[in-house]
Structure 1
Amino acid sequence: MAVIPQIPLPYLDSDNPNKQKAFDEWKDFMSSYLTINKIAKAEMWNYKLLSSGPKGRDLLLASGISEEVKKDPENVWAVFKNHLIEKLNKWV
């Protein structure tokens, strides 16, 4: 029986000046990690929280996202994407 090595949890590089790239890489790596480890959808937000560090924790808390809404993985991705990636101000 082959031993499968434990895959380290990816992390969000929130200090990367290229926020779009940091988010895209983190999402790609986390998606693979969650799939390989067969994490239930309702529990995925816990792993995203762990891999995002203190800044990610603060972001999730500040977003006010409810426990029920966290169970949908797309909702958690949206919180991070909407807050990490700068939006151009069309009025400036």
Structure 2
Amino acid sequence: MDNLLPFQAISPYKIRVFHPKSFEDAEEAINAMKTDDMLLLNVATLESRLAQRLIDYLAGSTFALSGESTEIGKGVFLLAPPSFSITRMMASA
């Protein structure tokens, strides 16, 4: 089994899971997207005003970088740089 490569070596892309604690943490998230990493942002545990401020700022920054963002759960957002495309799928009834 010495000839197996770890999965991460196959793809240069990363998804970073980000749990900010303050507004100052937003810069780290933006820098991750500038290096072409996708960001899974979880603000569910933050105070609602801070969470909304971070979401607005990071969604705006994502748009400015020509990326995409979408809410995937309560307080959980996917932010993608322009090299990724977010496709929304609806389950059939």
TM-score between both structures, scaled by the size of structure 2: 0.35
TM-score between both structures, scaled by the size of structure 1: 0.35
Which structure is higher in helix share? 1
Q: Which has the higher contact order (CA 8 A, sep 6+)?
A: 1
Which structure is higher in strand share? 2
